[in-house]
């Protein structure tokens, strides 16, 4: 996956996952797949509500979304649809997007021209030339601090631990 991938460190939960691994007979892939599906749900909610999935803070409305009467980060839905998860056998899961512009939206930053002195883009019915653009952070990947603890007590997770 190029673009951006978010990883989660499970500080304080290593012991719980060790127990889960024993209960799952070493097969944590199903748990990782379920976790990835749940994380994608948090991502979709972030897009729908235009909020940071970690903090719950509203995203700054983009000028193109405001003038076009649409949601921020959702022009054609390409970024939204690009979010995928990849479960791994060790119980971890990768969540990310292969879109090259995903990183600038996830982390924020300054865009400057690679060639020439200006960035040129369409705004409304005309074109604008600028030397740089500052993109505010609009995190769409991630989860709140208490998410892992909530995940561990879900009935669906318990059912995944039953023998296959």
pLDDT digits (tens, 9 = 90+) for 124-142: 788 989 999 999 999 999 9
Residue 139 has φ and ψ, to the nearest 5°, of -65, 130
44 inside domain: yes
Q: Residue 36 — pLDDT band, cuts 50, 70, 90?
A: very high
Q: Show the domain range for 97.
A: 4-108+137-160
- The confidence band for 6, taking pLDDT boundaries of 50, 70 and 90, is low
Could you give the percent of the chain with pLDDT greater than 90?
45
Residue 54: inside a domain: yes
In the chain, what percentage of residues exceed pLDDT 70? Answer: 81
Question: What pLDDT score does 5 carry?
Answer: 66
Is residue 120 one of the residues assigned to a domain? no
Is residue 114 in some structural domain?
no
Q: Residue 133: phi, psi to the nearest 5?
A: -135, 130
pLDDT of residue 38: 93
| 3-state SS, one letter per residue, for the chain | CCCEEECCCCCCCHHHHHHHHHHCCCCCHHHHHHHHHHHHHHHHHHHHHCECCCCCCECCCCHHHHHHCCCCCCCCCHHHHHCEEEECCCCCEEEEECCCCHHHHHHCEEECCCCCCCEEEEECCEEEEECCEEECCCCCCCCCCCHHHHHHCCHHHHHHCCCC
Read off the tokens for 3. Answer: 């673009």
Residue 126 placed within a domain:
no
Q: Name the domain count of the chain.
A: 1
How far is the C-alpha of 116 from the C-alpha of 15, rounded, in Å? 54
In a 13 Å sphere around the CA of 74, the CA atoms on its Cβ side amount to 18
In-domain check, residue 130: no
Give per-residue pLDDT as tens, 49-82: 999 999 999 999 987 777 777 889 888 899 999 9
Q: Does 124 reside within a domain?
A: no
Please, which pLDDT band fits residue 25 given cuts at 50, 70 and 90?
low
Is residue 142 in some structural domain? Answer: yes
């Amino acid at each position: 996956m190029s673009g951006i991938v978010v990883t989660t460190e499970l500080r304080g939960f290593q012991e719980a996952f060790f127990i889960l691994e024993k209960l799952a007979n070493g097969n944590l892939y199903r748990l990782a797949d379920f976790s990835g599906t749940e994380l994608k749900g948090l991502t979709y909610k972030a897009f729908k509500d235009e909020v940071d999935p970690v903090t719950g803070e509203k995203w700054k409305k983009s000028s193109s979304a405001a003038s076009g009467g649409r949601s921020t980060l959702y022009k054609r839905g390409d970024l939204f649809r690009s979010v995928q998860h990849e479960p791994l056998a060790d119980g971890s899961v990768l969540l990310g997007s292969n879109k090259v512009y995903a990183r600038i939206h996830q982390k924020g930053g300054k865009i400057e021209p690679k060639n020439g002195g200006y960035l040129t883009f369409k705004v409304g019915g005309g074109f604008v030339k600028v030397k740089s653009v500052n993109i505010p952070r609009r995190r769409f990947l991630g989860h709140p601090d208490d998410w892992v603890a909530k995940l561990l007590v879900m009935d669906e997770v318990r059912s995944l631990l039953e023998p296959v």
